[in-house]
Amino acid sequence: MTMAGEDEVAQILSQDARGRVLISQERRAALLEEFYRSGMSGVRFANYLTIKYTTFAHG
């Protein structure tokens, strides 16, 4: 299974006033598609991306 490369995961557009990372809608869609293909739990996939689960779940 091919997973997102570290370069792709680190594509940050900017941060909001609270310091939350913002990504493009296209990148979000690609990450969600990869999540569904991965078969991982949400928690495990968030760990793979090195982000908090709540960030992944509510992003």
Q: Judge contact between 12 and 51, C-beta under 8 A.
A: no
Distance CA 54, CA 59 (A): 8
The per-residue pLDDT for range 4-57, each reduced to its tens digit, is 555 555 554 577 888 777 778 888 899 999 999 999 999 999 999 888 888 888
Residue at 41 is within a domain: yes
Domain count, the chain: 1
In sequence order, which ranges of 1-59 are alpha helices (DSSP H)? 6-9, 25-38, 42-49, 53-58
pTM over 0.75: no
Residue at 1 is within a domain: no
Range of the domain at 38: 6-58
